[in-house]
A and B are shown apart, each in its own frame.
Chain A
């Protein structure tokens, strides 16, 4: 069974906390706007073939906040510097939700930064139709429940968020919400210029989207497909905004297929 561990990487003037696990060719994972949820089934599956590198976003409780990071483009530049300093340019990447926004910013700035890029229900481009759920207007509990199609039957959802929220959990979520607001309050979780900066990049891209996503509308996936026509789209039936935990087997299958192509 692949093991995981936390290590500290000195990069960009900060001690970045990195979750590292599995074996094989490295794969960087950019977590979403609520923070890393811990090692789950999908991590286990992907870690059978790859070494997962999961940086903990500055300001999310573990890695210190960096005042100069004021939007997702800045954050993308920070992570790009991290990859450069670690000698990992050209790595494969997966970005979840706001993490997809970060990955897209990195790709737009440097089309060679990733060999292959998986964007799972990515924010970052204003949806062609529909709206990204305004989760800043929700309490954390309501927001969390909106991230899956069915909180009751999603086993791993209960594992992450079940029961009473402890003061520590509450604080961690508030850290995440705060940092996300700093970067993405206005414009809300997108960059108006990202489509123009991204257009024409030939990076192999997979767009993953749960058909019952209540946070990111299909319009976001379509907006990405418009500027990255080479992108493949994998839709996961009956899943919401967290297909990786709502249907880990299918998620791991489509991602593995794409990354090994």
Chain B
């Protein structure tokens, strides 16, 4: 199993009231950006990733968001390029580059090739469509998001594999001279892991391309459903999916004592947490979702990872929040904080309590890639590093043993899609739903 470390690199200094007032992280005014603090943070987060390497994580994962204190990685490839040089062992996993938002696949092919070369073959490329808000920030037409994603991906593969120069005339991208001089270190190109928040279309696409799908803190029951869907699609394509086809990333925070962990772990719901990533009008720009996804959404009142639900959309309240109700909001968030822990959506505690919870997740979801997502909110560098150390020293060794015991092979050990299967035999299960009921999970 590959064990990775991930942080959103949160900008931790925006007063929580401002996030409440804005009802989201996205679109908080950058007048709250302090250049000195920002400079310190960028440097610290690079050091933090070096520390992850020192502690024995197999991978460090980066992502990209724009215009938000939720994540400072506005240009992830810059950080990846630095890490390529200042680390020496860890895989640098990008989860991922938002292709339709950047709108320049040739440049992307060049940037990633350079990073892979500098790191001597440690890059794992990952692609995303970009959250709804990124479409606004980058003025990327959301109605062409999926088309641009597919076209950019296919183009990059070609740019890395087909000797140039050649000419490209696509629907969304056109290049008269494709001949990127630098090609990736890894042949024919870096592995690709695809992160997602349970879009059926993306899961299907991953199965077709034999790419591992990495669930980003997705609810456990629905994640099982999607992975079964992946495995069914895989069988239609003639291969048996296994742990090498799946990854799971989950918010995790540890401290020496349970009390301390619970107190600091609240950073995950600071300002509303990931449900306050962006307001509904920014989360769901026109055409961003497929017609099928819109149909599902229109009928699902409950909500999803990014907090979008038909109910919320119908309320359609926009702009600034009610200034008198912050205490009430905080109370609600604390309730949500507890519920998320019960649902295994947040793993918080001392090493003693965290280990069995993660083992349960591994048992149920059987991922070949497991990534911890560091705490958000105003938690000090020291406390963040303590959490990393406790995980690496007191949890990780036991997880590695357990993964070996239950056969969680990762995509480095076994190439995803390399185990053939006939269409008329029953496939090997990819998830173990047994423990779900006892845990109160579906």
Contacts and interface: CB of A to CB of B under 8 A. Distances in A.
Interface of A: 136-142, 164-165, 167, 170-171, 174-175, 177-182, 185-186
A141 B329 CA distance: 24
Contacts of A185: 139, 141-143
Given A136-B286, A167-B299, A174-B294, A141 B141 contact: no
Given A164-B314, A170-B298, A171-B294, A181 B141 contact: yes
A26 to B, nearest CB: 32
Interface stretch (B237-245, B277-285, B387-395): B277-285
A171 B298 contact: yes
B144 to A, nearest CB: 7
Contact of A139 (B144, B281, B287, B298): B281
A141 B314 contact: yes
Contact of B281 (A137, A164, A174, A178): A137
B286 A174 contact: yes
B286 A138 contact: no
A181 B310 contact: no
A178 B280 CA distance: 16
A167 B136 CA distance: 25
Interface string B130-152: 00000010010111100000000
Q: Which of B144, B287, B314 has the most CB of A within 10 A?
A: B287
B139 A178 contact: no
Chain B binding surface SS class: helix
A182 B141 CA distance: 7
Contact of A181 (B280, B282, B286, B299): B286
Interface magnitude class on chain B: 20 to 34
B316 interface: yes
Nearest to A137: B281
A81 to B, nearest CB: 22
A139 B286 contact: no
B313 interface: yes
A187 B310 CA distance: 29
A138 B141 CA distance: 15
A142 B314 contact: no
A178 B295 contact: no
A180 B286 contact: yes
A85 B305 CA distance: 50
A186 B139 contact: yes
18 contacts: A137-B281, A138-B281, A138-B316, A139-B280, A139-B284, A139-B318, A140-B316, A167-B299, A167-B310, A170-B310, A170-B313, A171-B291, A177-B287, A178-B286, A181-B143, A181-B286, A181-B287, A185-B143
A196 B235 CA distance: 58
Given A140-B313, A171-B298, A185-B143, A178 B318 contact: no
Q: Which of B143, B285, B318 has the most CB of A within 10 A?
A: B143
Interface string B267-283: 00000000000001110
Contacts of A138: 281, 316, 318
B280 A177 contact: no
Nearest to B283: A139
B142 A181 contact: yes
Contacts of A142: 281, 316, 318
B363 to A, nearest CB: 37
Nearest to B281: A139
A186 B148 CA distance: 15
A181 B141 CA distance: 7
Contacts of A136: 136, 285-286
A97 B366 CA distance: 54
B178 to A, nearest CB: 24
Contact of B285 (A165, A167, A181, A186): A181
A138 to B, nearest CB: 5
The 4 A-B pairs at the shortest CB distance, nearest first, are namely A141-B316, A178-B287, A177-B286, A139-B316
